[in-house]
Structure 1
Amino acid sequence: MSRVGHTIKAGLHQIHSIAGLVLALLLALIALTGAIMSFEDEIGDYLNSGIMQVAPRQTPALMPDTLVARLQEMPDIGKVASVTLSSDPAAAVRVRFDRDEQGGRRGSLYVDPYDARVLGAPRGEGFFVTVRQLHRWLLIPGEAKGWGRPITGIAAIGLIVMLITGLVLRWPRRAGSVKMWLKPNLGLSGRGLHRSLHAVIGTWVLPVYLVMTLTGLWYSFDWYKDGVVWLLSRPEVSAAKMQPKMAAKAPRAAGRDEQARQVGFDRAWTTIQREEAGRFSKVLLALPNGPGTVIRIRSWPKDSTLDTTRDELRIDAISGQVISAERYADKTFGEKIIANVLDIHRGAFLGWPGKLAFMIAAALMPLFSVTGILLYLSRRKLRRPAQPPLGRLVPGE
């Protein structure tokens, strides 16, 4: 290798080492919390199987406004923010609540759709909420508006830098040899073993880490999200998505301000049943955050295998009019990638084998933190100049 090549390689090694030392513990924390959440849905379904189902009855289920009214007769129940209803007559209704004046939010409840009887709060929900906040925002106050969001984004950019520099640094002389790329030398010990594990297993997980970081940046930086939308969406869709976010409001009419104070779910629920004509498996109806009257709807088709494969609608709670409808089936390939960012981020787009592979890759992150630090310390030790031996003193000196 030429002198210039050695200089470039030394510079890349320095960048790789500094980024690793600065971000080692942070990346390990983010990765481990992501691994914990990999099978959150399956764990939740298992833990709460006893309260997610009811015995079907001949009598019709309660309309959502009636169900909410009965529920809120209970003391200290809080204001309902959304309800999740199902086409399955044996499925319980899941009710989520708005934040209180202190900014806190009580956990959701499963409710019997026929008599509004509370079946129980989902077990494990609080734990996963904390893990998710640690993963996304490091539990820093402000959540998505605080400093935690850009910090995790910077860590993701740092990981991309380490992946690229690491790949260049370990490029073998026999690049076509699969053994050189993928087989660790377990016969080594000490620094040699640490280097082999760090480099070879890093090669195994490099594609997964690239997918994780490139999709994770979507949640950290608005400029990144806008760029992806511009790149993958149709021009009219891109322009609409990059408009400043404002509270959705339907056209104003006489007496509408008074009606807005009485926004409920019934009109939207009736409309969605008519519009979807029994094609949905479940529907989430969310009340407006501000003073508007537009209900946000998420509708999952019966053949949906991913949580992000859903239709998005906006329906006026007063008139029942459909304000907008964004059908998943009508999206282009690029727009479907955008819609499925979360499931791509966690490997769910490949089914449970993909989720398992992404979970294992995330759980391996501490290995690179530990081996990277050990390699750095051993390199420092090797570079330390040896102390010259002290000569023996003779009498008179």
Structure 2
Amino acid sequence: MSRVGHHIKAALHQIHSIAGLVLALLLALIALTGSIMSFEDEIGDYMNSAIMQVAPRQAPALMPDELVARLKAEQDLGKVSAVTLSSDPAAAVRVRFARDEQGARPTSLYVDPYDAHVLGAPRGEEFFATVRRLHRWLLIPGDAKGWGRQITGIAALGLMVMLISGLVLRWPRRAASVKMWLKPNLGLSGRGLHRSLHAVIGTWVLPVYLVMTLTGLWYSFDWYKDGVVWLLSRPHVAAAKMQPKQPRAAGRSEPAQPVGFDLAWSTHRREEGDRFSKALLTLPAGPGTVIRIRSWPKDSTLDTTRDEFRVDAVTGQVISAERYADKTLGEKIIANVFDIHRGAFLGWPGKLAFMIAAALMPLFSVTGILLYLSRRRLRRPAQQPLGRLVPGE
């Protein structure tokens, strides 16, 4: 290796070590919480299977406004913000609530669609909500509007630096040798074993970490998100998505009549027929009458493979319709960022692989710190022998 190459590699080693020491614990925390959420949907469905289904009946299901009215008549649970309705007559309705004045969100409820009887609150919802806030925002006040979003983004950028520098430092002399790349030397001990595990297992998970990092930055930095949208979307779609959100005007009051779900729900059923499996109807957060409807086709296998509509709750007019099938490849990638981030785009094997890779992050934190400490010991100068106490002895 030339002298210049040696200096470059030494600089990269220093950058890799400093970034790793600074971010070791933070990256381990983010990765472990991500691995916990990998099979959140499957765990939730298993734990709550008893309250997610009802016995189908001959009588028609209640319209959502009537269902909400009956629910409120039984108990005051706060303001309803969204309902999830299904084309399956045996599926329960899920009712979600808005945050209260303290910023807390009441747990959602599963409700019988035929008589508005409360079937129960989903178990595990609060636990996974806390894990999600820890993963995304480190439980820092303000959630997406606080500093936690930027901190996790900086950690993702640091991981990207470590992945690139680690790959350069890892590059073996025999780059074509699969054994050199992928087989750890378990016969070693101490520093040699730590280095082998750190480098070889790091090579195994490097593609997964790259995908996690590139998609994770989407949720941390608006400039990154806007850049991806500009790069992958058609010009008119990118222009619409990159429009800044309008701040709520002070002094604007709520509509004279409360916004309901019924007209938007009727419009959706008329437009979609029996092509959808379930639909999430969300009321506007502030003043306005436009309801957002996320609709999942019956052949959808991913949470992000869905159509999205906006319907005026007063007139029933469809304001906009964004169908997944009409998107370009780049726009489908954007729509599936979340499922790409967690490996779900590869099915359950992908989710399992991403979960294992995330769970391995503490291994790199531990072995990296051990390698740094052992390197410090090796660089420490040997202790000089003590001088003789008595001259001449």
Cα deviation per residue 1:45-86 (whole Å; 9 max; x = unaligned)? Answer: 000000000000000000000000011113331110000000
Matches within 5 A, 1:138-177: 138-177=138-177
Q: Which amino acid aligns with 1:382?
A: L
Deviation at 1:395, TM superposition (A): 5.8
Structure 2 counterpart of 1:341? 337
Pairwise CA RMSD of aligned residues? Answer: 1.4
- Deviation by residue 1:81-115 (Cα, 9 ceiling, x = unmatched): 00000000000000000011111110000000000
Percent identity over paired residues: 86
Is the 2:343–2:353 Cα contact (8 Å) retained in structure 1?
Answer: yes
The residue number in structure 1 matching 2:327 is: 331
Task: Give secondary structure in 2 for the equivalent of 1:73.
Answer: helix
Are 2:306 and 1:314 equivalent residues in the alignment?
Answer: no
Indicate if the aligned counterparts of 2:53 and 2:92 stay in contact, CA closer than 8 A: yes
Q: Structure 2 CA distance, aligned partners of 1:66 and 1:169? A: 64
**TM-superposed deviation, 1:245:** 1.7
Deviations 1:318-339 (A, max 9, x none): 0100000000000000000000
1:107-146 pair list within 5 angstroms: 107-146=107-146
Q: Which residue of 1 aligns with 2:239?
A: 239
Once residues 38 and 230 of structure 1 are traced to their aligned partners in structure 2, the CA distance between those partners, rounded to angstroms, is 29
2:191–2:371 CA contact under 8 A, matched in 1: yes
Asked whether the 8 Å contact 1:64–1:266 carries over to 2, the reply is yes
Distance change in 2, residues 1:269/1:227 (3 Å):
same
Offset at residue 247 of structure 1 (A):
7.8
Q: Does 369-378 or 261-270 show the bigger shift?
A: 261-270
* Deviation (angstroms), 1:390: 1.6
Unpaired runs of 5+ in structure 2? none
Q: What does residue 282 of structure 1 align with?
A: 278
| Separation in 2, partners of 1:258, 1:99 | 17
Aligned residue identity for 1:341: V
Instruction: Specify the code of the residue in structure 2 equivalent to 1:90.
Output: A
Q: Is the 8 A contact 1:86 1:283 kept in 2?
A: yes
Matched to 2:309, the amino acid is L
Whether 1:363 aligns to 2:362 is no
- 2:371 is aligned to 375
Q: Secondary structure at the match of 2:74?
A: coil
Mapped partners of 1:18, 1:340: distance in 2? 34
Letter in 2 for 1:291: P
Instruction: Determine the C-alpha separation between the residues in 2 that align with 1:306 and 1:73.
Output: 36
Letter in 2 for 1:270: S
Q: Does 1:42 align with 2:42?
A: yes
Q: Which amino acid is the alignment partner of residue 139 of structure 2?
A: L
Distance 1:59 1:306 in 2: 32
Does the CA-based 8 Å contact 1:80-1:95 persist in structure 2?
A: yes
2:276, 2:296 within 8 Å by CA — same for their partners in 1? yes
**Equivalent position of 2:188 in the other structure:** 188
Alignment of 1:187-266 (within 5 A): 187-246=187-246, 261-266=257-262
TM, length-normalised to structure 1: 0.96
Equivalent position amino acid for 1:389 in 2: P
Shifted more, 2-11 versus 144-153: the winner is 2-11
Question: How many pairs are equivalent?
Answer: 390
Give TM-score, length-normalised by structure 2: 0.97
SS at match of 2:46: helix
Tell whether the 8 Å contact from 1:268 to 1:320 is kept in structure 2 after alignment: yes
Q: Distance in 2 between matches of 1:191 and 1:129?
A: 40
Q: Separation in 1 of the partners of 2:23 and 2:72? A: 47
- Pick the aligned partner of 1:293 from 289, 294, 314: 289
| Residue aligning to 1:304 | 300
Q: Could you tell me how far 1:25 is from its partner in structure 2?
A: 0.1
Distance 1:221 1:35 in 2: 22
**Structure 1: tracts of 5 or more residues without a match:** 249-256
Report if aligned partners of 2:186, 2:193 keep a CA contact under 8 Å in 1.
yes
- Aligned in 2, Cα 1:87/1:379: closer, same or farther, shift over 3 Å? same
Q: Answer whether contact 1:247 1:290 (CA < 8 A) is retained.
A: no
